[in-house]
Amino acid sequence: MEKRTELYRGKAKTVYTTDDPERLILLFRNDTSAFDGEKVEQLDRKGMVNNRFNNFIMTTLEEAGVPTQLDQVLSDTETLVKRLTMIPVECVVRNFAAGSLSRRLGVKEGQALEPPTFELFLKNDALHDPMINESHAETFGWATAAQLAKMKELTMKVNSVLRRLFDDADMMLVDFKLEFGTDAEGNLVLGDEFSPDGCRLWDKETGKKLDKDRFRQGLGGVVEAYEEVASRLGLKL
């Protein structure tokens, strides 16, 4: 597979075209950012860890019946994926209160949420990814009613699968975000990535944070925490 031109450069990944119009290459970089890019650092091994972690999770979800854009790992930091037309709406599930939910609603961090909450956010850095609802998404043409319903269905299935996975490894899946797109046939497919960059994971016994909050809050040991999560899941990096 020949890597060609840079298509998109995000905060932590670069997307390249290939000689196959239906395939792209994701390059996971060592860049780490928070607060809409106000805090940025390079963390050794992070690109490799997130690439391997993402492939493990996406494979797990595929086996559980969730369609993903994953194709195959190409190197420590590169993965071949199906080309999707991305929907600019992020789906967020929260099993425990943390982050913006606690700030918005005054809910104590760590409170169990039963049932889990499901939220939508517009993927727009300039607007700081504002929270939206289904009506906004339909009215402004970001997603159809059918797509929104399927996105919620798949997101809750992902939550069910991964909550058990992390629980068995003595971790709490606090919350996470997902992004979806459509393939050439119009099928809704899980895209982007699933890594500790886009979810919150806490140790069940101690509450130790094992995710990107270590970077946001200046706790240190970011990559080491990601590697600990991978090790607990039996993933060899």
Give the per-residue pLDDT at 38. Answer: 77
Distances (CA, A) of 168 to 158, 194, 222, 233: 15, 18, 22, 9
What's the CATH number for 3-82?
3.30.200.20
Give the per-residue pLDDT at 237. Answer: 83
Residue pLDDT, tens place only, 91-119: 999 999 999 999 999 999 999 999 999 99
- Domain layout of the chain by residue ranges: 3-82, 85-221
**Dist CA 36 CA 128 (whole Å):** 7
Give the per-residue pLDDT at 40. Answer: 87
Pure H helices in the chain: 46-63, 99-105, 134-139, 145-168, 213-216, 222-232
**CATH fold of 85-221, please?**
D-amino Acid Aminotransferase; Chain A, domain 1 (3.30.470)
Task: Determine contact, residues 223/43, Cβ cutoff 8 Å.
Answer: yes
Give the per-residue pLDDT at 213. Answer: 96
**Dist CA 163 CA 204 (whole Å):** 12
Give the per-residue pLDDT at 39. Answer: 84
Give the per-residue pLDDT at 1. Answer: 76
What is the pLDDT of the chain when averaged over all its residues?
Answer: 96
Residue pLDDT, tens place only, 15-56: 999 999 999 999 999 999 888 767 889 999 999 999 999 999
